[in-house]
Structure 1
Amino acid sequence: MHTLLANGDEGVGQLAGSNLSLVVVAAALALVALGGAAALVKGILAAGTGTDKMREIAGAVQEGASAYLRRQFRALGVFVVIAVVLLFLLPVGEAGNDVRIGRSLFFIVGAGFSAFIGWAGMSLATRANVRVASAARDGQPISAMHLAFRTGGVVGFLTIGLGLLGASIVVMVYNGDAPVVLEGFGFGAALLAMFMRVGGGIFTKAADVGADLVGKVEQGIPEDDPRNPATIADNVGDNVGDCAGMAADLFESYAVVLVASLILGRAAFGETGLVLPLLVASVGIVCAIIGVLITRMRASDASGLTAINRAFYISAFIAALATAAAVIAYVPSSWSELGSGIDASEVPVNPQVLAIVAVVIGIALAAAIMSLTGYYTDTRYKPTRDVSAATRTGAATNILAGFSLGLESAVYTALLIAAAVLGAYLLGGGVILVGLFAVALAGCGLLTTVGVIVAMDTFGPISDNAQGIAEMSGDVDGDAAQTLTDLDAVGNTTKAITKGIAIATAVLAATALFGSYTNAVEIEGLIGGQLLSELSIADPANIVGLIIGAAVVFLFSGLAINAVARSAGSVVHEVRDQFARFPGIMAGTQRPEYGRVVDICTRDAQRELVTPGLLAITAPIAVGFGLGVGPLAAYLAGAIACGVLMAILLANSGGAWDNAKKDVEDGNHGGKGSEAHAAAVIGDTVGDPFKDTAGPAINPLLKVMNLVSLIIAPTVVVYTVEGVGEGADGPVRWIIAGIAVAVLVGAILVSKRRSAVVESGESRAPEQRESVEVG
């Protein structure tokens, strides 16, 4: 049996001159990306902002989104402080206090970058939406599409620029100790992203479900009719969920993949492994700039999606060629030249071929998932058309059709991801650490396209908001309104695609981090037969850990969906209450109290995100100290396996329901106002928390749990393994496990005390029942 650790116990000193120069180049390219973001912002803000009414509505959305994020950041500050203290207290092996301080410091940096990207994405999107609507109103459909995509490009540039800059600085400052410090950087990014993804998802879907159920189904008014009190909250939610939340999510994916690559790269490739992932990321900077700039819609294109797909595939092809050139120029062609201690007879390919093929596997995976997800969620293809047709026989058959689609698509997407993981791993030829580094490099390859991926994702909510502003203002009609409807449909598909790619990134990152975890426990002294014994699947404790890992994914998803149900119930009663108490709303003589719904969604999102967040942090601690090293590894394996299937199921079924509703609204199966339309709306509201709350939040959940496990691994070995640690039989492990379990159980019990049933009128205080007369 090959040892897991190739050369991870050999420290890496100061970087050689040429390697240090390459790291500096990577940091410089990161700054170029940030400069590119600033240049795009200037051009976006120079565009026209439409009519006074359009600006008024956009301003309300911007104000609500900013207020929500300010409140969320204040709430999350407590978690950041606690995490910094705990990180400083946990050991870092043989490294000194400067490394421990660095890990805590860069946790704050990672969290800060994640928060900034979320805020910047939201802030710019709330300014671009009215400009996209204005361009459509002025009869410039191509300009409208370009504005929306380039706004997403700004967020993409920020994501890759800050991710690469942070990692490069850590490598320059800490050299061989950089992997330990990067644990903090990745953990900070992942933790903030998970909270923002969950909180934003709860907000946006509570408002969306409430607006659809009362406005569309009960009152029979359009989705973004200004008479609906939930419309502003719905548009705010698009920004705090899909812009801020998803931008932070993709940033932490980028950061965590770099973290795992650098940890495994140092152990497998020595000093070269500390630089190679940064080189691949640098190629991604160039490809992102090219991909965003060449995304131009032609008159012959069927839709904006054609232009986006064309740019994605071109940038992916360039990424493959540029990476191959960079690897050939930098990585030695033989293992002996690499000086990593790897026996060339054990690995079937040389280091150059391994690195190139691994990265290409990741790029190909992104392209394949893009095609597969589009097939299952786009109305041009049979699966979603079947879901749309099922609305003719009612909501039940619509939901069954969409759910079965999600189940089926999860299998094929998971097999595709598994094939990529196995293909990369086999490049290592049985040397486990080398194979795991190849998996991490595949993740880096996938993320060479992340700049375009983020642009695709942000394009969706901007287009959705633009259509909402146009409809609420009443200043856009005819061909201009159809332009915005078409852009919104494209945005639905791009959001579904980016969720699929984000899930793949999460699996690759989690698999690589899993390898980093097993490497960490081996470095701590758990080696050879004892390590194999601890990780044996024949041990019932490991089976228990596996089951708990899968169960946590189910519990997390249930908590997130139930949180939306509770908050949406409050919104439904609030909207019903306003329609009942103020008849002038439907007549257009009274202005709805939009702020009330925004307040309800903000309050509930902050309250509901705590329990899922605590679950992600405390569950690995409870399993690790309560059951041991092996069960914790099995826990991670169970969470990864179950997480990928659950996330794809939720994302694709939700996306299919959403686009099936769009298909009916386009005039199929009876069109708007028909029984089929009512059934489609019900399916869409069921799918909303699936695709925009629980499903995407599983991505950061997996990485948070893996990073927590990686950080506590040395301490778990010390306190749970006989003959290795100092206190395997002592009370410390049980005290820690007991505290973690008590915190988790307490949070769940508090959450369960909140009922999903809200009595009519409960959502508003008597003194807040007055309305405002208009016109």
Structure 2
Amino acid sequence: MAGIYPAVVDLSGGNLILVIVVALIALGALAMAFMFRQEVLAAGEGTDNMKNIAQAIQEGANAYLTRQFKTLAIFAAIAFFALLALPADDMAVRIGRSIFFLAGAGFSAAVGYLGMNLAVRANVRVAAAANEPGGREPAMTIGLRTGAMVGMLTVGLGLLGASIVVLLFKDEAPHVLEGFGFGAALLAMFMRVGGGIFTKAADVGADLVGKVEQNIPEDDPRNAATIADNVGDNVGDCAGMAADLFESYAVTLVAALILGSQAFGDKGLVYPLLIPAIGALTAVAGIYLTRPKVGESGLTTINKAFYLSAGISAVACVILSFVYLPNDFADLEGLETSPLDAISSGSASGSPALIAALAVVIGIVMAAGILALTGYFTGTEYKPVKDVGKTSLTGAATVILSGLSVGFESAVYTTLVIGAAVFSAFLLGGASLTVSLFAVALAGCGLLTTVGVIVAMDTFGPVSDNAQGVAEMSGDVSPEGAQILTELDAVGNTTKAVTKGIAIATAVLAATALFGSYATSVLEAVKDARPTEEEFSLADFFVFNPSVLVGILLGAAVVFLFSGLAINAVARAAAAVVYEVRRQFREIPGIMEGTGRPEYGKVVDIVTKDSLRELTTPGILAVLAPIAVGFGLGVTALAGFLAGAIGTGTLMAVFLANAGGAWDNAKKLVEDGHHGGKGSPAHEATIIGDTVGDPFKDTAGPAINPLIKVMNLVSLLIASAIVSLSMGDDQNDAVRIIIALVAAAIIVVAVYISKQRESSMGDDSGTPAPPLATPTQPVVTDPTRPTPTV
């Protein structure tokens, strides 16, 4: 199938030089990442006990990711050959698309692994710094530098991959970029789901037995699940989320580059690279110019870094737009009529420079709005979390109800901000649908200018959480140092929630742009299949078409099923952890007295096996659901499917992330001494709320982000094949239906097998272990602490 993207892009002269400059900026970002890494590793590691605990966490995290990558290599190999089989103009494009699929997956894995690798070394350094006099600022700086390393790695690899594709393939780059984005999104989804199941199964199991039943501190070394919990922070919140944010970066960039050449001709394939390149430079400025100050809230410090970077980016991008782009579409070279515009009789008008500048600014403003909204609904200093904390005085049920209310309400406001940004950007295109969709993609590029700081904010969360765990398990941190780490942990909870909100915003912007690319692909494929007949009508995509409506319902249903599978996987794995930790308390003598050593490795092994086993079903659902709907019900139903997934996924992801964040920080509020403090009935109620919220905010919620983009990219890749089998010269309804039935059957079997695993929960004897005879014990703060080893 030819002609989906214009084959008229002239990448020469000044444009070629600019793309090379972008590649050099990408390499510069990678160099900055290395420098930030060296800054972190130069800090002190604290006591020998701290080092031993950190070493145990490092070994567990590395062991898990090694096993996970071996599992994911199988999926990558299958996808590689599947992409080779899909149609393309020539074999070079097919091979390039498959190779850069592996590159996208490899870059996503590298960001996750290298980010985790530094985070497990930074946690002990943050704990050690907090224990020194005046240690708050140095501790926070180490955490932020760790995040900055991951941020620069994300920006550098994303820009490098996209710029190399453009340099090598020029006018065919959009085809190849589909593979690059798909690889990044697919691997990130698996890492996000697997890591999320690991971290939350360990966290929930540790809390339910240790804090609720035994009334011992969260990271007490007498709890066999503590090491698994801290390992999980790194493989889920750091490795998984870093890969997720990288794929958000890559796929948003891919969406802009796919539409750019149609909307803005030659310059449309270069301009989307220049915007995030500016973001790479301004992120460094934001990180270096903002330093923690004595007496200043940690969240205020981090927000200043974001707003400073965003403000500089906005000004620089506006200047770039008017310098690089003309003021009239007539002055653009390499334009050709898009199938979307041909059908709607729309034509581009106005100033390309002004449209691009406004679109980019819209994306930056949207990011700032989401940051403010999420911070309000999940921050400990604001009314929503304080209200959730107050409800702990009346029990766990009211904590859960109030947290659900916060999640539902916040999802509405966040969706309104995202919707306003998408619609405002869309209106900039005027009569041209292609330019409108490109403007939406450019809003996503504007958001990308803040990604360096956003990733730094996100990584700060698991590093500060782990630092508090290392400090508590070692027993070597002063009360002042412990208070500093508690504050930084609460800040990290909020920053993690903020980054999840911004990640879902990128998903919506990228998915909207990819949705337009999907429609273009369908229209071109129909034109090739039926050149003598009346062209496909946009009315076929209207919502009153029953096939579209059915597709919308199926898309929404997949989001619900995906979320349910992820949360249920955490529940099953957490139950296995609970039984194991109870068994160890019951059967290993001297644990509570500090003379017996828990078997930490057994819990790590349980959550490793369960998470790797459970990630398969959600992955199968994400890849095969669009195939089943598209080949079974047609391209119009698949369009509705994507729309339903985008709409429902946006609300669901924000709801899950913010409800979980509010529950987590309500627990922190009580632990700071409010409503009775640690060990009180209010504390126990907030622990229950937190355990409910854990899979919400760290497993199902953030995994919806790559889910949406994986389904959009799969749909884009299979669009021409669906049209060919349903109405072209190769029309074969029998083959089409068989493909759909096989895909649906695999989904059904995978879900069935997943549900059957419920019966395996229990202790080693195959029967559930009873709760401990004494559900509450006096708080024992400092026995002779065992040194955890895996």
Smaller-chain TM-score bracket: over 0.9
* Residues 1:621 and 2:621 are matched in the alignment: no
Question: Aligned AA for 2:557?
Answer: A
Find the counterpart in structure 2 of residue 260 from structure 1.
255
Q: What is residue 446 of structure 1 aligned with on the other side? A: 447
1:104 matched residue in structure 2: 98
Contact 2:286–2:308 (CA under 8 A) maintained in structure 1: yes
Shift of 1:325: 1.3
What amino acid is aligned across from residue 156 of structure 1 in structure 2? G
Cα gap change, 1:420/1:13 in structure 2, threshold over 3 Å: closer, same or farther?
A: closer
Distance 1:121 1:690 in 2: 23
Q: How does 1:465-504 map to 2 (within 5 A)?
A: 465-504=466-505
Matches of 2:226 and 2:515, distance apart in 1: 43
AA in 1 matched with 2:720: P
Instruction: Report the equivalent of 1:525.
Output: 526
Distance in 2 (alpha carbons) for counterparts of 1:731 and 1:345: 38
Letter of the 1:437 counterpart: F
Match of 2:751 in 1: 748
Paired residues for 1:422-433 under 5 Å: 422-433=423-434
Instruction: Pick from 12, 16, 39 the counterpart of residue 12 of structure 2.
Output: 16
Structure 2 alignment gaps of length 5 or more: 529-533, 770-783
Whether 1:73 and 2:73 are equivalent positions in the alignment is no
Contact 2:523 2:536 in 1 (8 A): no
Instruction: Please point out which of 542, 554, 572 is paired with 2:548.
Output: 542
Q: Does 1:222 align with 2:217?
A: yes
Q: Please give the alpha-carbon distance, in whole angstroms, between the structure 1 residues aligned to 2:628 and 2:726.
A: 12
Q: For 1:371-410, what aligned pairs fall within 5 Å after superposition?
A: 371-410=372-411
Distance between the aligned counterparts of 2:653 and 2:491, measured in 1?
22
Q: Secondary structure at the match of 1:332?
A: coil
Q: Is the 8 A contact 1:590 1:773 kept in 2?
A: no
Partners of 1:136 and 1:82 lie apart in 2 by: 47
Distance 1:114 1:101 in 2: 20
Q: Corresponding residue for 1:205?
A: 200
The answer for the alignment partner of 1:364 in structure 2 is 365
Trace 1:123-522 onto structure 2 (pairs within 5 A): 123-139=117-133, 140-301=135-296, 303-339=297-333, 340=335, 346-347=347-348, 349-522=350-523
User: CA RMSD for the aligned pairs?
Assistant: 1.9
Task: State the alpha-carbon separation in 1 of the partners of residues 7 and 163 from structure 2.
Answer: 19
- Summarize the Cα distance change of 1:488–1:537 in structure 2 as closer, same or farther, 3 Å threshold: same
After superposing the two structures, state which structure 1 stretch, 35-44 or 531-540, moved more. 531-540
2:221 is paired with a residue whose SS is coil
In 1: Cα distance, 2:432 partner to 2:81 partner: 37
Whether contact under 8 Å (1:566, 1:756) holds in the other structure is no
Farther off after superposition, 545-554 or 428-437? 428-437
C-alpha separation between the residues in 1 aligned to 2:204 and 2:218? 11
Deviation at 1:37, TM superposition (A): 0.6
Structure 2 matches for 1:21-32, cutoff 5 A?
Answer: 21-32=17-28
* Residues 324-349 of structure 1: CA deviation (Å, up to 9, x unaligned): 11111111111100133589995563
* 2:111 and 2:150 in contact (8 A); partners too: yes
* TM-superposed deviation, 1:534: 2.8
Does residue 734 (structure 1) correspond to residue 734 (structure 2)? The answer is no
CA–CA separation in structure 1 for the residues paired with 2:232 and 2:410: 27
**Cα gap change, 1:619/1:762 in structure 2, threshold over 3 Å: closer, same or farther?**
farther
Q: Read off the aligned partner of 2:477 and give its amino acid letter.
A: V
Q: C-alpha separation between the residues in 1 aligned to 2:162 and 2:497?
A: 29
Q: Report the Cα offset of residue 727 of structure 1.
A: 3.7
Please name the residue that 2:44 is paired with.
48
CA distance in 2, matches of 1:292, 1:550: 39
Letter of the 1:215 counterpart: G
| Equivalent AA in structure 1 for residue 627 of structure 2 | I
Q: Could you tell me whether the CA contact under 8 Å between 1:394 and 1:675 is conserved in 2?
A: yes
1:691 corresponding residue in structure 2: 697
C-alpha distance in 2 between matches for 1:214 and 1:695: 25
Percent identity between the two aligned chains: 62
For 2:711, the equivalent position in structure 1 comes to 705
Query: Matched residues in 2 for 1:179 and 1:32: separation?
Result: 25
Q: Which moved more, 1:385-394 or 1:174-183?
A: 385-394
- Name the CA shift for 1:265/1:600 in 2 (closer, same or farther; >3 Å): same
Amino acid in structure 1 at the alignment position of 2:735: V
Please list the CA deviations of residues 640-693 of structure 1 after superposition, one character each: whole Å capped at 9, or x if unmatched.
000000001100000000000111111111111111111100000000000000
Contact 1:574 1:763 in 2 (8 A): no
CA contact (8 A) 2:526 2:536 kept: no
Taking the aligned partners of 1:435 and 1:178, their CA distance within structure 2 comes to 21
Amino acid aligned to 1:321? V
Q: Deviations over 1:434-461 (max 9, x none)?
A: 1000000000000100000000000000
> Could you tell me which amino acid in structure 2 is paired with residue 398 of structure 1?
V
Counterpart of 2:710 in structure 1: which amino acid? V
Q: Give yes or no for contact 1:544–1:631 (8 Å, CA) kept in 2.
A: yes
After superposition, the C-alpha distances for 1:577-600 in whole angstroms (9 at most, x for unaligned) are 000112300000011111111000
Q: Distance in 1 between matches of 2:418 and 2:266?
A: 29
Letter in 2 for 1:367: A
| Aligned AA (1:105) | I
1:89 corresponds, among 77, 85, 95, to 85
Tell me which stretches of 4 or more aligned residues in structure 1 moved more than 6 Å.
342-345, 763-766, 772-775
**Distance apart, 1:765 and its partner CA:** 14
Distance 1:571 1:470 in 2: 23
Does the 8 Å contact 2:222/2:786 carry over to 1?
no
Q: 3-state SS of the aligned residue for 1:590?
A: coil
Whether contact under 8 Å (1:562, 1:756) holds in the other structure is no
Q: Deviations over 1:138-175 (max 9, x none)?
A: 22221110000000000000000000000000000000
Other structure's SS at 1:700 match: helix
> In structure 2, what is the Cα distance between the partners aligned to 1:196 and 1:292?
27
Q: Does the 8 A contact of 1:546 with 1:638 survive in 2?
A: yes
Structure 1: tracts of 5 or more residues without a match: 767-771
Query: TM-score normalized by structure 2?
Result: 0.94
CA distance in 2, matches of 1:650, 1:519: 33
Supply the AA of the counterpart residue of 2:372. S
SS of residue paired to 2:537 = helix
CA–CA separation in structure 1 for the residues paired with 2:739 and 2:191: 27
Query: Against the structure 1 CA distance between its residues 253 and 773, is the aligned structure 2 distance closer, same or farther, given a 3 Å change threshold?
Result: closer
Contact kept, 8 Å, 2:761 with 2:768, in 1: the verdict is no
Return the letter of the residue paired with 2:564: G
Q: CA deviation at 1:758?
A: 2.2
Give the whole-Å Cα distance in 1 for the aligned partners of 2:24 and 2:246.
Answer: 19
- Write the distance in 2 (CA, Å) between the matches of 1:86 and 1:764: 43
Aligned-partner residue type, residue 135 of structure 1: A
Aligned AA for 1:110? G
Give the drift of 1:525.
3.0
Deviations 1:255-301 (A, max 9, x none): 00011000010111111110000010111110111112123011241
Q: Secondary structure at the match of 1:296?
A: coil
Distance (Å, rounded) in 2 between the aligned partners of 1:377 and 1:66? 31
**C-alpha distance in structure 2 between counterparts of 1:50 and 1:379, whole Å:** 29
Matched, 1:586 2:585: no
Q: How does 1:572-651 map to 2 (within 5 A)?
A: 572-651=578-657
Aligned residues between the structures: 759
Moved more, 664-673 or 247-256: 664-673
Whether contact under 8 Å (1:565, 1:756) holds in the other structure is no
- Report what 1:769 is aligned to: none
Inter-partner Cα distance in structure 1 for 2:649 and 2:228: 30
* Secondary structure of the corresponding residue to residue 591 of structure 1: coil
8 A Cα contact 2:201 2:607, kept in partner: yes
